[in-house]
């Protein structure tokens, strides 16, 4: 498959458009039938593939940053009597298993970003369903805070994957129906077992939608509801947004380069080294100065570049199993930028940047690769960048300096950002997750804020996995990486996914846990993808043949 690029912008959209009405934005889905990311399928009935969702993700991000005046976003269809038929079945039938997994994961991360915008940006999402919202189409609606359904005796909501395709709703549909919409279990069982879906007043009674509206009052009621919800937002109506410019990125055969992030790929060893550089300029003198920097402001630019690098590796470098995380720069400068975000948390843009960093770090948590942080002289694992070490599956730290290296000894520096700015999907900080059941340890670590902790101290505090002397470093790292490479990639993915989300279960951790399970089992079973499977035979007029054994 061609290299997948996650960078886009509105002038290049083929499937979405954005219209504005004061404090309300309309995010209109009008999928180009011939605009599929791959070959051999048409995106009929507003069905979607990864390319459609890349545009949606970009639109969601831009609405948060570029349009502070918008307090409500209405997702609607640009086609008459059709909302969205969900993920394109032909695409799923032709895609490799790895592509299906990445597609479903990215799609769900986009849905979570919509929910994050409603919760944390006060840019509330509404879904206006005119036509059938089936499968992934209804799952898109489920991401909104308020769902409206036209009452025209045709339009309905449905999750028909089980009866039609022998699979499950792939982007959190089951979990959102029960945990978010609070649909009764037996009703959910019925709903997910019928092809035709549910419409009208019954959809409201079952909590599948929030209101149904007569066709004659549809447009006026949608607009009225959107403006009512937007009026409750605290977003500044007169503020100037920050426009996302195209990232300065260079992709070579074995290297991806940004201004603050580099990826060096070693294909022979199946690993990549990601280096994140700290800020090269002093913290802005004021919030106004930070706004003037726009998307060149270091925390925002670093988040965008790191996110693009992670997504690129996920989609285009499946054989790369290990990611080495390194940092470079000045630790105090990172902490100063963190403090700037915290001190100005009431400013809408600083709030957006903080949540963007949170979502970018979550991309690491859900990426199926082994992450190893290497903390060496010249590193700046401080504050926000220390989160990279805490997100890693292991972290190794060099004791002292190498011969001839006059840089300061390796250190890790905690900042206020490590104690609440970037919760994981389980609702805990990475330090709380690391020291689960040891709240006293996390409390004691607050006394270390701003203090560089060198290797032996970091080891004693439990901040790293292992500290090594210079004469052991190369050999120990080599042995560990060779051992990692000798294990089954499938087993490693399962192990890492289980270990990363210790602690309480949330809707988000349920979604990703169940997503991993159903993708790697149900989507591989003959009943779904065999020659007589439902996914293979869909639309052929031939009924699938199922093996009847329950496993």
Q: How does DSSP assign 273-291, residue by residue?
A: EEEEE--SSPPPSSHHHHH
The string of DSSP letters for 212-248 reads EEEGGGHHHHHHHHHHHHHTT--S-TTPPP---PPP-
Please give the tally of structural domains in the chain.
3
Q: Distance between the two ends of the chain, CA-based, in angstroms? A: 33
From first to last of its 551 residues, the chain has per-residue pLDDT tens of 589 999 999 999 999 999 999 999 999 999 999 999 999 999 999 999 999 999 999 999 999 999 999 999 999 999 999 999 999 999 988 888 889 889 999 999 999 999 999 999 999 999 999 999 999 999 999 999 999 999 998 999 999 998 988 888 876 899 999 999 999 999 999 999 999 999 999 999 999 999 999 999 999 999 999 999 999 999 999 999 999 999 999 999 999 999 999 999 999 999 999 999 999 999 999 999 999 999 999 999 999 999 999 999 999 999 999 999 999 999 999 999 999 999 999 999 999 999 999 999 999 999 999 999 999 999 999 999 999 999 999 999 999 888 888 898 999 999 999 999 999 999 999 999 999 999 999 999 999 999 999 999 999 999 999 999 999 999 999 999 999 989 999 899 889 988 998 999 999 999 888 877 777 778 888 888 888 988 888 888 899 999 898 87
- CATH number of the domain residue 474 falls in: 3.90.226.10
Tokens (6 digits) for 217: 């009052």
- Say whether both 223 and 352 belong to one domain: no
Residue 2 domain flag: no
Residues 311 and 446 in one domain: yes
Please give the distance of CA 435 from its chain centroid, rounded to a whole number. Answer: 24
Sign of CA dihedral 179, 182, 188, 192: negative
Residues 208, 303, single domain; the answer is no
- Three-class DSSP category at 486: helix
273 & 140 share domain: no
Mention every residue, 6+ apart, whose C-beta is less than 8 A from residue 281: 298
The distance of Cα 24 from the centroid of its chain, to the nearest Å, equals 24
Q: Are residues 429 and 296 in the same domain?
A: yes
Is 158 among the domain residues? Answer: yes
Measure the CA–CA gap between 400 and 377, rounded to whole angstroms: 8
Angle at CA of residue 450, ends 365 and 353, nearest 5°: 45
Same domain, 40 and 189: yes
324 shares a domain with 433: yes
> Do 492 and 534 belong to one domain?
no
Query: Please, where are the H alpha helices in 5-159?
Result: 50-66, 89-94, 97-120, 136-142
Is residue 518, in this structure, part of any structural domain at all? Answer: no
Question: Are 177 and 142 contacting, i.e. CB atoms less than 8 angstroms apart?
Answer: yes
Please indicate, yes or no, whether residues 225 and 257 belong to a single structural domain of this protein.
no
In angstroms, rounded to a whole number, what is the distance separating the alpha carbons of residues 197 and 132?
Answer: 9
User: Structural domain of residue 87, as residue ranges?
Assistant: 10-230
Determine the length of the chain. 551
Q: Is residue 355 part of a domain?
A: yes
**Is residue 243 in a domain?**
no
- Tokens 């969205």 -> residue: 84
Look at residue 539 and tell me if it is in a domain.
Answer: yes
Cα–Cα dist 421/419, whole Å: 6
- At 426, list the tokens: 């389980």
Query: Which residues, 6+ apart, have CB-to-CB distance to 39 below 8 Å?
Result: none
Residue 244 lies in a domain: no
The burial of 78, by beta-carbon neighbours within 10 Å (0-12 exposed, 13-18 middle, 19 or more buried), is given as: middle
- Tell me if 376 sits within 8 A of 399, measured CB to CB: no
Residue 407, phi then psi, degrees to nearest 5: -75, 160
425 in the same domain as 472: yes
Residues 6 or more apart in contact with residue 374 via CB below 8 angstroms? 324, 325, 326, 395, 396, 477
pTM of structure? 0.95
Residue 275 lies inside a defined structural domain of this protein: yes
- The domain boundary, picked from 467, 485, 500, lies at 500
For residues 212 and 280, membership in a common domain is answered with no
Radius of gyration over every alpha carbon of the chain, rounded to an integer in angstroms: 24
Quote the CA–CA distance of 200 and 193 in Å, as a whole number.
Answer: 18
Tell me how far CA of residue 16 lies from CA of 51, 77, 342, in angstroms.
11, 9, 35
Q: Report d(CA 44, CA 257) in Å as an integer.
A: 37
Do residues 128 and 258 both lie within one domain? no
């Amino acid at each position: 498959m061609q290299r997948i690029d996650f960078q886009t912008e509105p002038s290049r959209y083929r499937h979405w458009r954005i219209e504005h009405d004061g404090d309300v934005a309309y995010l209109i889905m009008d999928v180009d039938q011939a605009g599929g990311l791959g070959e051999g399928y048409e995106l009929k009935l507003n069905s979607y593939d990864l390319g459609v969702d890349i545009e949606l993700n970009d639109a969601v991000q831009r609405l948060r940053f570029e349009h502070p005046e918008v307090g409500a976003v209405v997702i609607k269809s640009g086609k008459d009597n059709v909302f969205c038929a969900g993920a394109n079945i032909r695409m799923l039938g032709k895609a490799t298993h790895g592509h299906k997994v990445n597609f479903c994961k990215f799609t769900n991360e986009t849905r979570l970003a919509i929910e994050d915008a409603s919760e944390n940006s006060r840019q509330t999402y509404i879904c206006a369903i005119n036509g059938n919202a089936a499968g992934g189409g209804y799952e898109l609606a489920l991401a909104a805070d308020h769902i409206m359904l036209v009452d025209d005796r045709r339009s309905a909501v449905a999750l028909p994957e089980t009866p039609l395709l022998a699979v499950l709703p792939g982007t959190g549909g089951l979990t959102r129906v029960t945990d978010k919409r609070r649909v009764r279990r037996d009703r959910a069982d019925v709903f997910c077992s019928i092809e035709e879906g549910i419409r009208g007043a019954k959809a409201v009674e079952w909590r599948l939608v929030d209101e149904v509206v007569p066709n004659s009052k549809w447009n006026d009621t949608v607009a009225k509801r959107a403006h009512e919800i937007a009026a409750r937002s605290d977003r500044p109506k007169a503020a100037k947004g920050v426009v996302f410019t195209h990232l300065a990125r260079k992709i070579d055969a074995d290297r991806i380069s940004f201004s603050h992030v580099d990826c060096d790929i070693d294909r022979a060893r199946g690993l990549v080294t990601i280096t994140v550089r700290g800020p090269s300029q002093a913290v802005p003198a004021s919030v106004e100065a930070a706004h003037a920097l726009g998307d060149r402001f270091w925390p925002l630019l670093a988040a965008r570049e790191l996110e693009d690098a992670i997504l690129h590796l996920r989609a285009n470098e499946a054989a790369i199993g290990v990611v080495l995380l390194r940092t470079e720069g000045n630790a105090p400068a990172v902490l100063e930028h963190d403090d700037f975000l915290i001190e100005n948390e009431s400013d809408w843009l600083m709030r957006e940047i903080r949540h963007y960093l949170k979502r970018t770090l979550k991309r690491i948590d859900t990426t199926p690769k082994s992450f190893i942080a290497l903390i060496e002289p010249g590193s700046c694992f401080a504050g926000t960048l220390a989160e990279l070490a805490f997100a890693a599956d292991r972290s190794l730290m060099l004791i002292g300096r190498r011969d001839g290296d006059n840089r300061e000894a390796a250190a890790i520096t905690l900042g206020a950002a490590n104690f609440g700015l970037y919760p994981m999907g389980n609702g805990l900080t990475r330090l709380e997750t690391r020291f689960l059941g040891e709240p006293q340890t996390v409390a004691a670590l607050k006394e270390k804020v701003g203090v560089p902790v060198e290797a032996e101290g970091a080891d004693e505090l439990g901040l790293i996995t292992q500290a090594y002397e210079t004469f052991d470093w190369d050999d120990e790292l080599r042995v560990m990486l060779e051992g990692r490479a000798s294990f089954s990639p499938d087993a490693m993915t399962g192990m890492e996914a289980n270990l990363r989300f210790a602690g309480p279960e949330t809707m988000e951790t349920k979604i990703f846990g169940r997503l991993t399970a159903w993708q790697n089992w149900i989507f591989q079973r003959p009943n779904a993808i065999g020659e007589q499977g439902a996914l293979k035979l869909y639309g052929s007029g031939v009924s699938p043949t199922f093996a009847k054994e329950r496993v």
